[in-house]
Structure 1
């Protein structure tokens, strides 16, 4: 992506994915789609009856790996740059035997074994060395409590693993989602494919806004999740196929919003506004606390940096928006006072130890 920040003193024609604003600043024309939403949409499309069309999906190593994993499981996909179609099936994978390499993708490595469990057959999953180190134990225990046979081939609670699937009956399950909200998301997404539906009680939950994304997207696909305190109830109800537009990625947009805050310039991202599904848009409010001016409408967000790019030090709990921690860490040394980031232990078990990487 070709990105340039402009100011009133630096106007002129621009080429690439953005355009200057007449009063100065920079506006994205075509921000990349959300990775989180693309992964969930691929699962939902595969689980739906009929052919779902996804518009403006993110094309990245993770999402392409997810799509290729679906193909290995027997799903039919057609992909162009801006439009992916998936022929879904409400009974789990078409294939009765498959081997899937999940690359570095956490959603691929956690969602696809759960989708496979709804089918019938033997499915093996492996991943990169880093993904092999990331935990799966809470999700594995939940699946086993639902009667699914999951065999970890080398280290308990980690890839590689084999799922011997014979459908999921459903019922009640208790889940610890304190290390990753993806464990809960995977079970929520598969709930409508079970015989009886699912009631999932969480004992701990991190990155809750990502679960909100999941619940909202499931409703777009015709299935409503009921929440009562720490228990989520999902009916056994087939998803219908739909056309679904992927909104821009809020985590990625955060880099450029932070750049505006730091340089005293302005950036606008269309497609990310008050109606956005993504909790990471709250990062703009973190920038506001540091002195930037934030304007949020229904369909766009604009961040304008304070004069001279002056940033105030803050203390902020980022448990729910931990994917934006490295972005804040990058601009923190320029603040007038200390920046303290709290409650983000789960960032140590991402694709790398993000806290150590930032340090």
Structure 2
């Protein structure tokens, strides 16, 4: 049995850092993700005067965060959010609700291109003074904070569920709570992660459907600290599951099973439809590919698991029929236009691809070696690393961008190859077939 040790979830780590900072008491995070994104979030909290202590030598690794329900310890600060969308969206929301002062947020050129307008419009509706310096709806921005009373909002979260997550987490820090009507929502499982984690920190979020949309009700009252374990990142696990499927091998990811919070674990259901065998226990998931590495084509809606769209696109050439991925417009506003980046890279590998506003269709073929244009996007590297299992010679123009979520990816993937090396030329996977 090949075991893949996947680092902690980026999504869970970021939410836990927000909730811990806002809570009464000291929170311990067990096995948090250590990456550029989460380090950027932690450094942002430190710049705001929150106490974050890392214990990298502890077993398991732990971070402790001293909560400040009254808000940041400083009345003015500048925070650099790096490439992190959660940092760039969650921290301005945290200071808007809990801060008293003026706080400026900037980010990398990549993050500056990504929108935050739906969130900042919502904050303004709640009475928060938010000013964009250069381009409206984008970083850099300044928040002049004096607390938030609360009230009712209507939100379009069809572009990113992070807007809704930020506002939900803000709710308990308001004086009167929030009632949010959501007209459109993408990646709903990420919102479920948020509400489940808020429950662990002492807040129960109400939810019901109306003709106008889904309504979330968040009470005031704040959070209480917790000891919180961070499960492995399901999006990252998708590369190892996909590798087993295309290589005709088996891989087990411990820590991700039936009780997992992350919706992206549903990617294994896609692999199962394509012919892989999936076994899921309470605390682990195992994927076994057909010995030949053969996969079936399919049409799949990936709206709720869109971070795994590049993973599927990268293995689609090895299917027996076309692979069509639908309802993934929001992937166009990630670290790069992922839908178009996948299409361009597949074409450079000699694969026939068609795209539309929110879909991509990939015709099976034999990929040829080429350099992958990563666009600084970690998911381009990790996805097409899976393709390289059957197409030796694939390279990347920026392999180091995996540091965003998994600095040790290349070593871990090399170890996976090494573990499968015995008999690698057998079963149709050894020579780029």
TM-score bracket for this pair, using the shorter chain length: over 0.9
Structure 1 distance, partners of 2:94, 2:168, is 11
1:215 counterpart residue number: 195
* Correspondence 1:331 to 2:307: no
CA contact (8 A) 1:91 1:193 kept: no
Structure 1 distance, partners of 2:49, 2:108, is 22
TM-score, scaled relative to structure 1: 0.92
2:49 counterpart residue number: 74
* Correspondence 1:65 to 2:40: yes
1:147 counterpart residue number: 127
2:18 counterpart residue number: 43
1:85 counterpart residue number: 64
2:252 counterpart residue number: 268
Matching of residues 106-125 of structure 1 within 5 Å: 106-118=85-97, 119-125=99-105
Task: Provide the secondary structure at the position in 2 that maps to 1:329.
Answer: helix
1:27 counterpart residue number: 3
1:91 Cα shift?
Answer: 2.4
1:3 counterpart residue number: none
Structure 2 distance, partners of 1:154, 1:53, is 38
Matching of residues 250-261 of structure 1 within 5 Å: 250-261=234-245
2:281 counterpart residue number: 297
Deviations 1:62-110 (A, max 9, x none): 0000000000111011012211101111122221100000000000000
Matching of residues 2-13 of structure 1 within 5 Å: none
Give every structure 1 segment of 4 or more consecutive aligned residues whose post-TM-superposition deviation is greater than 6 Å.
Answer: none
1:132 Cα shift?
Answer: 0.7
1:148 Cα shift?
Answer: 0.4
* Correspondence 1:95 to 2:71: no
Task: Provide the secondary structure at the position in 1 that maps to 2:182.
Answer: strand
Structure 2 distance, partners of 1:306, 1:275, is 26
Structure 2 distance, partners of 1:348, 1:50, is 40
Structure 2 distance, partners of 1:253, 1:178, is 25
Deviations 1:151-190 (A, max 9, x none): 0111111100000000010011111101100000000011
1:165 counterpart residue number: 145
Task: Provide the secondary structure at the position in 2 that maps to 1:172.
Answer: strand
Structure 2 distance, partners of 1:302, 1:134, is 35
1:263 Cα shift?
Answer: 1.1
Matching of residues 170-319 of structure 1 within 5 Å: 170-229=150-209, 230-319=214-303
Task: Provide the secondary structure at the position in 2 that maps to 1:308.
Answer: coil
| RMSD between superposed Cα atoms in Å | 0.7
1:10 counterpart residue number: none
Task: Provide the secondary structure at the position in 2 that maps to 1:67.
Answer: helix
Consecutive unaligned residues in structure 1, runs of 5 or more? 1-20
TM-score, scaled relative to structure 2: 0.76
Structure 2 distance, partners of 1:136, 1:58, is 24
* Correspondence 1:342 to 2:326: yes
CA contact (8 A) 1:152 1:159 kept: yes
1:130 Cα shift?
Answer: 1.1
CA contact (8 A) 1:293 1:304 kept: yes
CA contact (8 A) 1:92 1:193 kept: no
Deviations 1:249-291 (A, max 9, x none): 0000110100101111100111100100000000000000000
Deviations 1:305-346 (A, max 9, x none): 013111000000000000001110110000000000000011
Structure 2 distance, partners of 1:270, 1:66, is 26
1:27 Cα shift?
Answer: 1.3
